[in-house]
Amino acid sequence: MQNIMYKKFRKTATVMAKIFEKGDEDGMTVPENFTMLDAMENDKYNCGQPNLVPYISTLENQKHRGEFGKHYICFGIYDEKWLVDKDIFERTYEEVS
């Protein structure tokens, strides 16, 4: 095995962010691991309507799923957006004036 030297890096970019709330989503989709069994349960109890989860579209055109109130929605310098778990965001970002 090769001996790899790692270096430490710190992000210095400033982002705009807010708690992810209803109305911030780009759409709603089925949960990530939605199965045929889940579909049958939804059909039985929810008249065929699955329990949908909100998502945002990322710069790479991926659907990034999140939960209202449990994530921050962040906006980067190129108007890209992404979600960060609330606990992780509050431990790794600090507000600037």
For the residues of 54-69, what is the DSSP string, one character each?
EEEE-TTS-EEE--TT
pLDDT band at 63 (very low <50, low <70, confident <90, very high): confident
Q: Is residue 1 over pLDDT 80? A: no
Task: Determine, yes or no, domain membership for 97.
Answer: no
Residue linked to tokens 């400033």: 14
CB atoms within 10 A of CB 1: 3
Mean local confidence (pLDDT), 42-63: 71
Task: Determine, yes or no, domain membership for 41.
Answer: yes
Mean pLDDT of the chain: 81
Partners of residue 17 on adjacent β-strands = 74
Whole-number Å distance between alpha carbons of 28 and 48: 15
Q: Which is more confident, 42 or 29?
A: 29
Q: How many domains does the chain have?
A: 1
Q: What is the pTM of this model?
A: 0.68
Task: Determine, yes or no, domain membership for 24.
Answer: yes
Whole-number Å distance between alpha carbons of 66 and 19: 11
Residue 76 lies in domain: 16-92
Provide the pLDDT for residue 47. 57
Q: Is residue 84 over pLDDT 90? A: yes
Task: Determine, yes or no, domain membership for 55.
Answer: yes
